[in-house]
Every structure is written in structure tokens, then in C-alpha cells.
Structure 1
């Protein structure tokens, strides 16, 4: 029975991964491990950057913002997901569902924005190193950080508002592990064209702008690195960007696949789509601290000092 409050249900039922109910308990193990790695790794990154004055540089400030975003993004989905897999806690209140949807989309946009900021930092550091500290001073870093946060909040604030105003007359069962925008829209019976058009337009324009900005930055970085007088200097310049490129590729590959399958991939099996959607909110937050911790010399040295020599 669908209990309704005005035009929407009191709660939704999250099914998890339809078709994989028998193995969801086993799937929860790698998901839980990824979540613990994401939270623990990003907390370590935050503590190390805060305690080590030599890391108080633009790149590491942006990395701190990225780590906080990753913790919130992964925590918005995994605890509930594990509750579904382990305890069969499938119910989620209507308001909580809209809040989860808003956090996922807005903080994903913030993560993309911080990747742009980090790419811009690398561009200035390599292409205009003498003016790096002047261009990216504390005020500029603060403005960029606030702009990324407000962009994610403002552009996706209409999502929960418009969805709440749509009438729900279909089932309250969501075949997913979390409250995804398109999964909710499919349960409405009103005219949702404007809502879907706004969502698709914002996601497409924001993704295109961010990816084009990142591509432009790294193209200019590559051109500058290849024009350096020695090959060693060029390799050193490029090596500082490899960690950024790796995590950016993972993030945009999974997010693009999730976006495309919801709107165009009607013949893709739900198990594949939902599994990739879970990877989309879990793997980048888990991968970021690992990649940056291993590839960034200053962070790697500080981690070794803390865990092996006890030097805080």
C-alpha cells in the first residue's frame, strides 16, 4: 500500500541492486572496504596537510577541499547502502531521500570544480612559476573554493524543490541503492519535462565546461613541458600532473557512463548501471587519497614520518 502525504509518499523503498539480491551481502564487503578507505584516507590527508606547514600551498589547500567533499559524498550513500545489504533497512523518508539526492549531485559538482581548480594550479605552477604565489594567493584560493561550493549548491538546489512539487502516483519502490534523480522522476506522474530538461542542461554544461577547462590546462602544461630545455625538466613537470590526470579520468569516466545510461542506455541491464553508479560515488573518494598520498612526495614523506617514526 502506498501511503501518501498530499501528493507524495511518506517514504520510499530502496531495493539495492535488483537481480543481485542473493549476493548483495558479499558485494557489501568490497563496498564497505572502499568506504572505510575513503573516509580514513581523506581524514589522514586533511590532518597531514593541516599539521605540516610546508604543505600550506595552493595545490594542497584544494586537495583538502577535495578530501572534505569526498568524505561527505561517500558518507551520503554508503551507510544507507550497507543498511540495505546487511539489515534489510530499505525504507527512507521522503525528505531524507530528497536530501540525499541533493547532496550526491551538488557534491559531485563540487568535486568536479575542485579538479578544475587543481588543474589551474598546476597550469600556473608549470607555465608561469615566477608568478604562482602572486596569482594564487590566499584570497584567490578562498574565492575559488567558495565559488566551487556555491556553484554546486545553487545550481542543484532546484532539484529537490521541483521534485517535491511533482505529484507521485506510481510505486514508492526505487530500484537503486540510493535516491538518484532520474530514478525518482520515473515515479512521478506529472509533467516532468522542465525538471528533466533543467537537470540534463545543468549537468551537461557543467561537465562540458569543467572537462574543457581541465583539457585546456593540461594541453598547455604539455606544450610547456615539451618546450623545456632538458628532457629531465620536462619529465619532472609532467610527473606532478600524473596523479591529477589519473583520478580525473576515473571520475569523469564513471560519471559520464552513469549520466548516459540513465538517459540513453535503456537496454543496459540494471545491475550494470547500478553497480557503476555505486562505483561513481565510491571509487573516486577512495582513490584520491591513495593516489595523492603515493604520488605526492611531500605527503608520502609525512605519512612515513607519522606511521613509521611517530613524528607528528
Structure 2
């Protein structure tokens, strides 16, 4: 009798995404803040891209990095939100086998790219505050292009082993993923094989990609704070600290949920599954929503340009 209820296949043609396990009855209500966050992220990031393209005075290293961050944020949230909302609104839970791994690739590669861009932006702020007279000579356009290319190549090159390892495991008992998207460890846990290699490569990425990124950001902001507190006036200190403090909060909003999600799959067996899935979604949605506000509207040049656009339309 038990054998008749068991699905036996080497690789399924589709996976079934459950959404948020335990909160299925609340999917519609949960979708509302997610939908608002997505709309805010799309509007905010496209606004930044439009303004930087149209305003020649903004075409400098800081804003190039900001544009890269906006594109990355758009890809990250778009890679999961449409399918997630189709689950919440239309109960459309199926996702094609290859589409699942394609989604996984975009999530993991662009997460690495975003992490690299945050390092580059921290370096830009370090040079601007600690070596302001040398900023234009250090961060030249060719160097910015090389940094951007290196960041993209790192994400593109280091992600395929994760996907190829997950793709080659046999999925022979169930195709039900207790998640809203094809998160790597959520899929690998379904495999009926020894998946330690996937776990080890995931830890390698955590230790040798995310770890150094967090370290370099911490070093940059430590040096920035040292310079800020040595400024002669209190007003100058508060102004510099306010700008860098908001940037640092945006960085924390990206790394803390992400690190918690990665570590929970490996060591957090007592964490409620619905909480873990919610946090994994927050990890990919909060940063794209906050970044245009923190990096964009709190930047005087972009804020003034946005205000000019609206006031110009009114007149």
C-alpha cells in the first residue's frame, strides 16, 4: 500500500512549489506587502536608471555602481516575484524542471553580483571620504569598468557548479518543494542521494565569497567612521554619519537575512519552516526595495532631479 502512494521517478518533469508552508490560508494577505515591495522596487530602480542616464552630471563612478545595483536588484526580485504571486493568487504551483534550475541560477548568481557591488560601493565611499582629493584619480572610468566586469564574472562563473551539482542528483521520491521559489538547499534536500558535495560547495561560497565581501565592507566602514569622528565640526560629523549610516543599514538588510537563511538550512533544524521561507523572501525583496530609497533619494543630486521632474510636470 505504501509503495502505491510513492512517486518513483529519476527526474520529475515539474516541481511543485508549496508557497509558505503552514500559512497557505494567509497567502493572499501575505502577497499584498510583497506586491507593494515589488512595485516600489521596480519603480524606484527604473527611476534611478532613467535619471542617471538623462543627467550628464551624474555619470561618474558612484552612480555607475548605483546603476549596476539597480539592474541587479531588478533581476533578483523579478526572478522570484512573478512566480510567487502566481502561487499566492492563482494557486499555480507547478514549475518546469529546467525552469526551476534556471531560476536558481539567477537567484544565486545575482546575489553574488549584488554582494560584489556593495563591496565596490563601500570602496567608493571609502575613497570619497578618506581620500577626497584623490577620488577622481583613483576611481577612473576604466577602473570602474574593470571592477564591474570582475563582479559580474565572479557571480557568473562561481554559480554554475552549484546548479550543475543540484541538477545531477536523482529526485526519485517527491517533487514538492516547501518554498516559494527554487532555493538551492530546499531543492537539494529532495534528492535521494548523498548531497554532501552540494553542501560543501555552498559552505565554500559562504566562506570564500560572502565572507571576504563582509570583511572588506567592514574594513571600509571602519576607516570611514574613523575619519568621520575626526571631522572638526559636529554638523559635518552628523551629515557624513547620516549618509554612511543609511548606506550601512542597506548593507545589513541584504546580508543579515541572507546569512541567516543560508545557515538555517544547515544548522537551524529547530527554526519554524514558515519563518525560514518568509525570511528567504525578505532577503531578496527588502534590499531591492530599500536601495533606491537609501542610495537614491538620500543622494542630493538624485533627490533634486526627482523633485525637479515632479515640479516641472505640475507647472
The interval holding the TM-score normalised by the smaller chain is over 0.9
What residue in structure 2 maps to residue 86 of structure 1? 89
- C-alpha deviation, 1:3, in angstroms: 7.4
- C-alpha deviation, 1:301, in angstroms: 0.5
Take 1:294 and 1:77, find their aligned partners in 2: how far apart are those partners? 26
Structure 1 residues 148-186: Cα deviation after superposition (integer angstroms, max 9, x where no partner): 111111111111111111111120000100001111111
Q: Which 10-residue stretch deviates more, 23-32 or 231-240?
A: 231-240
What residue in structure 2 maps to residue 151 of structure 1? 154
Take 1:300 and 1:90, find their aligned partners in 2: how far apart are those partners? 41
Q: Which 10-residue stretch deviates more, 199-208 or 181-190?
A: 199-208
Task: Give the count of matched residue pairs.
Answer: 309
> Is the alpha carbon distance of 1:301 and 1:167 closer, same or farther for their aligned partners in structure 2, counting shifts above 3 Å?
same
Q: Residues 281-296 of structure 1 correspond to what in structure 2 (within 5 A)?
A: 281-296=284-299
- C-alpha deviation, 1:96, in angstroms: 0.4
Take 1:310 and 1:200, find their aligned partners in 2: how far apart are those partners? 51
- C-alpha deviation, 1:2, in angstroms: 4.1
What residue in structure 2 maps to residue 242 of structure 1? 245
2:60 to 34, 50, 57: 57
Take 1:113 and 1:84, find their aligned partners in 2: how far apart are those partners? 31
SS of residue matched to 2:172: coil
- C-alpha deviation, 1:309, in angstroms: 1.6
Q: Residues 184-223 of structure 1 correspond to what in structure 2 (within 5 A)?
A: 184-223=187-226
SS of residue matched to 1:309: helix
Q: Residues 1-312 of structure 1 correspond to what in structure 2 (within 5 A)?
A: 2=7, 4=9, 7-310=10-313
- C-alpha deviation, 1:308, in angstroms: 2.1
SS of residue matched to 2:95: strand
Query: Which runs of no fewer than 5 residues in structure 2 stay unpaired?
Result: 1-5
- C-alpha deviation, 1:42, in angstroms: 0.4
- C-alpha deviation, 1:9, in angstroms: 1.0
- C-alpha deviation, 1:114, in angstroms: 0.6
Structure 1 residues 90-138: Cα deviation after superposition (integer angstroms, max 9, x where no partner): 0001100001111111111111111100000000011111111111000
Structure 1 residues 172-217: Cα deviation after superposition (integer angstroms, max 9, x where no partner): 0001000011111111112211121011111232111011100100
Take 1:123 and 1:274, find their aligned partners in 2: how far apart are those partners? 35
Q: Which 10-residue stretch deviates more, 242-251 or 96-105?
A: 242-251
Query: Which runs of no fewer than 5 residues in structure 1 stay unpaired?
Result: none
SS of residue matched to 1:241: helix
- C-alpha deviation, 1:250, in angstroms: 0.9
SS of residue matched to 1:19: coil
Contact 2:16 2:177 in 1 (8 A): yes
Structure 1 residues 260-305: Cα deviation after superposition (integer angstroms, max 9, x where no partner): 2111111111110011111111111011112223311111111101
Contact 2:8 2:173 in 1 (8 A): no
With structure 1 as the length reference, what TM-score do the two structures score? 0.95
Contact 1:2 1:9 in 2 (8 A): no
Contact 1:81 1:177 in 2 (8 A): yes
